[in-house]
Structure 1
Amino acid sequence: MAKARTSLRHIDVHEDDIKEEDAEETLDESMNPLEESGHTVDSSDEEVEDAVQEDMARFEETFVGINKRFRLINRIGEGTFSTVYKAEDLEYDKYGNTWDIDERENQKWSSPAQRRRPSRRPHYVAIKKIYVTSSPIRIFNELELLYDLRDSDSVCPLITAFRHLDQVVAVLPYFQHCDFRDYYRDMKISEMRPYFRSLLTALRAVHSKKIIHRDVKPTNFLYNPAQSRGVLVDFGLAEREGTDWHHCLCHVPDEDRRYRASHSVWAQNQAVSHSAPSYPKNDTRNSRRANRAGTRGFRAPEVLLKCTQQTVSIDMWSVGVILLTMLSRRFPFFHSADDIDALLEITTIFGRRKMRETAILHGQVFETNVPSYSEGGHTLEKIILWCTGRTGDKTQPKKELEEDEKEAVQFLYRLLECNPAKRITADEALRHPFLLRTFEDSEADEDMVDLVEV
């Protein structure tokens, strides 16, 4: 009987190896999505650049024995914390491989005799080489979370993990997918629905275990448009909900929050100075520290405002940014240099009033004197019309969104809700009318096929 590879191989984490700066690691900025590799090719012998070939040779030389288990083929991804290689699993038939979705699909259409015979086709995996600059705690955390999520739908499972000296590699399934930049501009609403249904199915599984992914973005959701199937990857920044939590006003009743705001240092200064906002000249309070890990442009307002009790709802905001990107045909939609600029970009859409309310929610103060930011902001409908060039000619009749676009925007409002407590959950999203129509679209496509065949 084949041996199962679903158990997590032990990786030693020595307390002596963990320095204080590791526990408060500053490597929380994931790579710019425009700089990341984002697709695979359907070939096992694609051209390999000389630099990549040298990189793989160095990897095989420094990680003793890796070439006996896997044949490295190409480098398929590079990020801030890791490099990912495509490789052939040379010992595939020695183990149980319940993780292999493609093999399961092939077995459905095979005869009983074929199912009993070992598969002769090559089987590919993705080998993730985690950089040694990552702390031992961060590496162990990622592998532990992947192991906990091993049976979750649409989530990339961990096959196994190895350690050689200070180098750790994770072995993951290899998924065929396309670069987001190659298809997002051409996606119809009917094609967006299965994309988000697959993504939110993954997040429902992740969030049900109280795990925050923290880095939801197109390059971390490997999607195959031909199969309408995707898989959520890269849990390098993920954490369990409640990790290093500290009290935040967003978790207290509204009445208590209003009372504290009215008796705060800021409110007292406002009472003294009526002409303009004023602040203490020498503020002796400690600065607020909170986890801000993620990717620029995809961080939720509460992350930018340093909420100290962040929940899984930050992932739902990131899903909303992806949907806004598709509807507006602009990637990346938000492209700020820092957290302050990011807040101002959000202010452009939602307005100063909403951002002030959102800041107060987390015990912060938001003020800007830039005149171009309006109090009420703009509707998402107007933003999408403007981005897609449907508001330019004033002499023509006013253009509106198509009916299916309007339904998508209603869903978008639930995702891009500035108050995390009111933001839609993954489970609620899967029951939203926008995604429930996924099945209607697929049935319509089947009817079209039947019509053509007749």
Structure 2
Amino acid sequence: MAKARAQSHRQAEQVLVHEDDVKDEEEAQTLDESGDPLEESGRTVDSSDEEIEESVAEDIIRFEDSFVGIDKRYRLINRIGEGTFSTVYKAEDLEYDRFENNWDLDERENKKWTSPQHRRRASKRPHYVAIKKIYVTSSPMRIFNELELLHDLKYSDAVCPLITAFRHLDQVVAVLPYFQHRDFRDYYRDMTIADVRLYFRSLFTALRSVHAQKILHRDVKPTNFLYNPEQARGVLVDFGLAERQGTDWHNCPCTLPANERRSRITNSVWAQTMQPGVQTSSYPKNDVRSSRRANRAGTRGFRAPEVLIKCTQQNTSIDMWAAGVILLTMLSRRFPFFHSADDIDALLELTSIFGKKKMRDISLLHGQVFETNIPSYSDNGHSLEKIILWCTGRTKDEKQKKIEMGDEEKEAVQFLYRLMECDPAKRITAEDALRHPFITKAFEDSEGDDDMVDLIGAEE
């Protein structure tokens, strides 16, 4: 068992991945596909110690047998998460008092509000962590990348920090704080606009911290943001698909000046083969150009248009689009909102909302051509207001009067347009989102909270 704890505090730097294990190998596309959001939500639980299935108990025993010594440091309690690349267990830290634990947010809160006498009594309580067992099918480079990014983000607001990590043979585990949270499906339908503001204030605080270090999370979704509605606090987790901005970048027309981009489009093969007055184009019978390769990692339904169109210079704005999908889910009361089988279906789902014209323009922005002959898709699509009213059963009916949106809901929809902006260059950033009137009202509602005052001060 590789030791990764120092005398005074835990160190993640000592997790070693031998150079001969780190291979520049191309992984199958399926390894970049995170689990189905609906299935994953049901596999992320927050249960008590007693609620443990027999199969889970057997799984814990197998894990303890295969990872020698883990039971000496941690008492595994339950399996609380299961994804494409890892399994997460709730455990009690048996050596908590031997180390500094600056990561323990709950302990810091207790010290802030309790007397010294009660603090000594509280220190005897059990302290829980989340142990993430990373599957051996993950490449060494992927594992190393995740641990390195978690280490770099350990002092970031609303981001789950890395406590330590261990390696035994080919098995690597990461030890993370355990956060009390609720399943997204249990509360999203009941959220008021005020609740929504608080949720996104916490999420954008996390994304601001991540994006400030030029890191793309790439898999923002409800199951990767552990939220506690009672405390109005959440943490961003699972950086298994995250990467630094600029990784494996290749020139994309979306970064060119507008006049140069228009010139390229005018002189392109596509423009020359367009028939006058016809919206469809012909294509070379034998296209000798190499296919475009771009990072498509993420979860179906949460990928931004530029990811689906294979932009080769993706940036942190893809996380803001995913946050927009979460907001659309809350406002429409539908989860998952998008449920495509592949990237083509995903593009068509967006076309049904934003229209064929918008999708053509966005595709050309990235040097691609978008065409569809499906007659049911209109050129201009539908407004997000109309989509939300339809999803919530408020469309006009002959027998009943149409129910209009309230002012707060309209404000939320206008903010949604800033998140679900198809042009990544025009999409709102996490920093600007925290300054947006829709979010700043959450700060106004929490004037007496010291933590909120600190957050406001951090933005000035």
TM-score (norm 2): 0.93
| Counterpart in the other structure of 1:39 | 45
Deviations 1:104-135 (A, max 9, x none): 11112222244467811000000000000000
Contact 1:5 1:159 in 2 (8 A): no
| Counterpart in the other structure of 1:201 | 205
SS of the counterpart of 1:77? Answer: strand
SS of the counterpart of 1:84? Answer: strand
Contact 2:90 2:178 in 1 (8 A): yes
Contact 2:280 2:371 in 1 (8 A): no
- Taking the TM superposition and a 5 Å limit, the aligned residue runs for 1:419-438 are 419-438=423-442
- Taking the TM superposition and a 5 Å limit, the aligned residue runs for 1:74-113 are 74-113=78-117
- Taking the TM superposition and a 5 Å limit, the aligned residue runs for 1:279-298 are 279-298=283-302
| Counterpart in the other structure of 2:58 | 54
CA distance in 1, matches of 2:218, 2:185: 22
CA distance in 2, matches of 1:118, 1:326: 37
- Taking the TM superposition and a 5 Å limit, the aligned residue runs for 1:358-369 are 358-369=362-373
CA distance in 1, matches of 2:400, 2:222: 36
Residue 358 of structure 2 is aligned to residue 377 of structure 1: no
- Taking the TM superposition and a 5 Å limit, the aligned residue runs for 1:50-449 are 50-115=54-119, 119-271=123-275, 274=278, 276-442=280-446
SS of the counterpart of 1:76? Answer: strand
Q: Residues 438 and 251 (structure 1 numbering): CA distance in 2 closer, same or farther, change over 3 Å?
A: same
* 1:46 positional shift: 2.0
SS of the counterpart of 1:430? Answer: helix
Alignment coverage as a number of residue pairs: 442
Give identity over the alignment, percent. Answer: 73
Contact 1:22 1:135 in 2 (8 A): no
Deviations 1:21-73 (A, max 9, x none): 356765000000111123313x3x22211111111101000100000000000
Gaps in structure 2 of 5+ consecutive residues: 1-5, 450-460
* 1:443 positional shift: 5.9
Deviations 1:370-402 (A, max 9, x none): 111100110000000000000151344433211
| Counterpart in the other structure of 2:457 | none
CA distance in 2, matches of 1:218, 1:275: 39
Counterpart among 13, 32, 35 of residue 17 in structure 2: 13
Deviations 1:417-446 (A, max 9, x none): 00000000000000001001113334699x
Contact 1:60 1:67 in 2 (8 A): yes
SS of the counterpart of 2:378? Answer: coil
CA distance in 2, matches of 1:16, 1:273: 59
Deviations 1:345-376 (A, max 9, x none): 00111000000000000000000111111001
SS of the counterpart of 2:355? Answer: helix
Gaps in structure 1 of 5+ consecutive residues: 446-454
Root mean square deviation, CA, Å: 1.9
SS of the counterpart of 2:415? Answer: helix
CA distance in 1, matches of 2:329, 2:174: 31
Q: Which has the higher mean CA deviation after the structures are superposed, 14-23 or 198-207? A: 14-23
Contact 1:6 1:158 in 2 (8 A): no
CA distance in 1, matches of 2:406, 2:277: 49
Letter matched to residue 377 of structure 1: G
Runs of 4+ in 1 over 6 A off after TM superposition: none
CA distance in 1, matches of 2:446, 2:277: 61
Letter matched to residue 40 of structure 1: D
CA distance in 2, matches of 1:387, 1:272: 40
Letter matched to residue 135 of structure 2: Y
Q: Residues 84 and 306 (structure 1 numbering): CA distance in 2 closer, same or farther, change over 3 Å?
A: same
Q: Residues 25 and 161 (structure 1 numbering): CA distance in 2 closer, same or farther, change over 3 Å?
A: farther
* 1:15 positional shift: 3.7
Letter matched to residue 356 of structure 2: R
* 1:192 positional shift: 0.5
Q: Residues 25 and 274 (structure 1 numbering): CA distance in 2 closer, same or farther, change over 3 Å?
A: closer
Letter matched to residue 221 of structure 1: F
Deviations 1:145-200 (A, max 9, x none): 00000001100000000000000000000000000001001111011000000000
CA distance in 2, matches of 1:358, 1:109: 52
CA distance in 2, matches of 1:435, 1:353: 31
| Counterpart in the other structure of 2:452 | none
SS of the counterpart of 1:96? Answer: coil
* 1:4 positional shift: 3.9
Q: Residues 389 and 54 (structure 1 numbering): CA distance in 2 closer, same or farther, change over 3 Å?
A: same
Letter matched to residue 285 of structure 1: R
CA distance in 2, matches of 1:191, 1:399: 22
